Amino acid sequence: MTIGGRIKQARKAGNFSLRKLADEIGVSAMAISKYERDQDVPSSGVLLRLSQALQVKVDFFFRPSTVSVQLQAYRKHAVLGVKEQEAIQMRIQDWVERYLEVESLFPEEQHAANLPLRKVTSLDEIETAALELRDHWSLGYDAIENLVQLLEDRGIKVGIISGFEHFDACTFTYSTQSCKADGDPVIVTKGELSGDRQRFNLGHELGHLILDVQGDLKPEQAANRFVGAFLVPAATARFELGANRTDLNINELHMLKHKYGLSMQAWIYRAKDLSIISESTAARLFQQFRVNDWHRQEPGKPYPSETPMRMERLIYRALAEDLISRSRAQELLGKPLQLGWEMEALQQNDLAIRAGN
């Protein structure tokens, strides 16, 4: 990718218009347009101001293009505009490029996602597909303690993006210049979410990856059903709730939410889908949630969010093995390095030395 292409990528990732960026760095919008179309080359001073305004390192503009990302599925509100979608895609592309550079330092750590593609024509087949994936991954029927880490361990790159109010989640695949075939899948979800909503988004996107929806089924409907079936298999739901209920207790739902990482409202849907409760009972429970405004924020302690760790772990491993410098590690990480533990250890060591003297 040219310098102009990198400027355009960073501008879109930052959700800057040509005019806004031009005003930030003190040049005309026409000048920015010419830079992006490679009709002119910015001076070193302009590049420095661009890096500051766009919050990227100057080296970013000279990074060779290695990745192309392609959208497969998008969960969003209707008001999410084209510019915001472009900004999300550009941020993901930058993150995947950095991720792949880190992975290249440890070839033995690179493993492709092995996801079975399953044709489904009915809701019952979705239940079966979820069980087959659990069997494929040797998960049994127990609660999945950390869904983010499970997906990372199975070769799916998981990202978190903040700052886009009307964005929920999306699924991408990527290709590289050295390999035109699709690479590992990438699931990205919104950062400003509780853990149960985050897990629902991830499970929903996982459904898009493995379900080949046929017939009258709608892809979104199928992915929603898959989430519940994957996080709480039918046999598990009946074990926890019983086979036939006339009502569900709020405290009971709260406890199950924290055991399985599935929201209280999703548990109601799960019980209804499996005919554990009737449609009318589910409707009454959902009405109770709406009246109390619990449909926006469920009562009780929220389920904790989960954090992707694989990329960061590899960066610290590369740093420990002197494969990269501290400054390069920070650039790849995209945020300051965690120094708390190191500083605490140094302080303790300094105190020990002083005490010895």
CATH fold of 107-291 reads Arc Repressor Mutant, subunit A (1.10.10)
Domain-wise residue ranges, the chain = 1-65, 107-291
**Average pLDDT per run of 10 along the chain, which is 357 residues long?**
84 86 91 90 89 83 69 58 80 87 87 86 96 96 96 93 84 66 79 94 94 93 96 98 97 98 98 98 98 95 95 94 90 77 57 61
Tell me the CA distances in angstroms from 144 to 103, 203, 257, 277, one per residue in order. 26, 11, 12, 24
Amino acid at 94: D
Tens digits of per-residue pLDDT, 281-338? 999 999 999 999 999 999 999 999 999 999 999 999 999 999 999 888 988 888 778 7
Sign of CA dihedral 152, 330, 65, 165: positive
Cβ atoms 67, 97 nearer than 8 A: yes
Position 89 scores a pLDDT of 81
Position 349 scores a pLDDT of 61
Angle at 288 between CA 146 and CA 166, to 5 degrees: 55
Instruction: Please state, in angstroms and rounded to a whole number, the distance separating the CA atoms of residues 69 and 172.
Output: 6
Position 180 scores a pLDDT of 47
SS3 255: helix
Position 6 scores a pLDDT of 85
Tell me the CA distances in angstroms from 342 to 125, 310, 325, 349, one per residue in order. 51, 20, 16, 11
Pairing of strands 118-120, 211-213: parallel
What percent helix, strand, coil does the chain show, rounded to 5?
A: 55, 10, 35
What's the whole-model pTM score? 0.81
Tens digits of per-residue pLDDT, 46-56? 889 998 888 88
Q: What tokens appear for 328 in the block? A: 């390069």
Instruction: Please state, in angstroms and rounded to a whole number, the distance separating the CA atoms of residues 225 and 221.
Output: 6
Amino acid at 161: I
CATH fold of 1-65 reads 434 Repressor (Amino-terminal Domain) (1.10.260)
Q: What tokens appear for 347 in the block? A: 């302080």
